[in-house]
């Protein structure tokens, strides 16, 4: 069977996207398709599917072939793909992902994705935090994160006795001043550092509020990743609400592969 696919990237986080609204592809070898040597190569694969009551459904797989929790950059890329495929019109989308309903604002070269509220920001130490932004994240604030061996240090946490079964994403965050941070992420399911992680960027921006004791109110955090820049906007009170992950979603190429 010939599979038509489109390759997208959101600040270097890359995805294979397949239009599955006719439900033709339910048993894909996702790990092989995502393999950089034997397949197309990507951090993950997404299916665009129909779902009653929504513009579309997002089904996301990590590159290891397993159904994953929410992917922020993937969600933004899928919104752009869905808009160009006619799944919705105008600049507003309403879709469902594994963690529930999402809204998005679409414009040329930019997608703003509304994320789930974060009710708990758990402090594990002076500079360590755990929170869930649709995916579980461990956030560590440190200096000079470009000098950190992200794979070694990330794996040490992801595979420790606490997290080895379910896994956790590990983010290393450097405060650059004001409302600007730099983030590097070790992603479970990819089991490597990725150039960007949308839910990780979101978690890091929200954890900043506790690390820096930011006052309640509306905040806009600029986040630099190895793959580019993103903005995280949110309202802070006892929890983080009205969270938006904002950044580019770029089509790289499209093609076919014999599966």
Secondary structure (3-state) at 229: strand
Report how far residue 170's alpha carbon sits from residue 158's, in angstroms, rounded to the nearest whole number.
7
Active-site amino acid positions? 71, 197
The conformation of residue 118, written as its DSSP 8-state character, comes to: B
Contact 139, 210 (CB under 8 A): no
Cα dist. 79→98, 113, 148, 150 in Å?
Answer: 15, 9, 34, 30
Report how far residue 54's alpha carbon sits from residue 103's, in angstroms, rounded to the nearest whole number.
10
Report how far residue 244's alpha carbon sits from residue 241's, in angstroms, rounded to the nearest whole number.
9
171 closest CA partner among 146, 191, 201: 201
Q: What angle do CA 145, 150, 153 make, to 5 degrees?
A: 110
Cα dist. 21→1, 85, 232 in Å?
Answer: 17, 11, 31
């Amino acid at each position: 069977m010939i599979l038509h696919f489109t390759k997208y990237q959101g600040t270097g986080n890359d995805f294979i996207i397949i239009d599955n609204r006719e439900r033709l592809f339910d048993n894909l070898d996702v790990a092989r398709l995502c393999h950089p040597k034997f397949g197309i190569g990507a951090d993950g694969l997404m299916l665009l599917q129909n779902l009653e009551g929504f513009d579309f459904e997002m089904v996301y797989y990590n590159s290891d072939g397993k159904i994953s929790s929410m992917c922020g950059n993937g969600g933004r890329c899928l919104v752009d793909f869905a808009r160009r495929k006619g799944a919705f019109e105008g600049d507003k989308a309403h879709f469902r992902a594994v963690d529930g309903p999402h809204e998005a604002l679409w414009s040329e070269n930019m997608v703003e994705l509304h994320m789930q509220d974060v009710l708990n920001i758990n402090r594990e130490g002076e500079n360590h935090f755990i929170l869930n932004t649709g995916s579980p994240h461990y956030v560590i604030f440190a200096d000079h994160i470009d000098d950190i061996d992200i794979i070694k240090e990330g794996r040490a946490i992801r595979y420790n006795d606490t997290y080895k079964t379910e896994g956790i994403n590990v983010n290393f965050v450097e405060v650059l001043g004001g409302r600007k941070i730099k983030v590097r992420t070790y992603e479970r399911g990819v089991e490597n550092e990725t150039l960007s992680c949308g839910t990780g960027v979101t978690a890091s921006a929200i954890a900043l509020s506790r690390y820096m004791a930011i006052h309640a109110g509306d905040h806009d955090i600029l986040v630099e990743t190895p793959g580019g820049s993103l903005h995280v906007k949110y309202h802070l009170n006892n929890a983080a609400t009205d969270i938006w992950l904002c950044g580019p979603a770029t089509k790289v190429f499209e093609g076919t592969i014999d599966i």
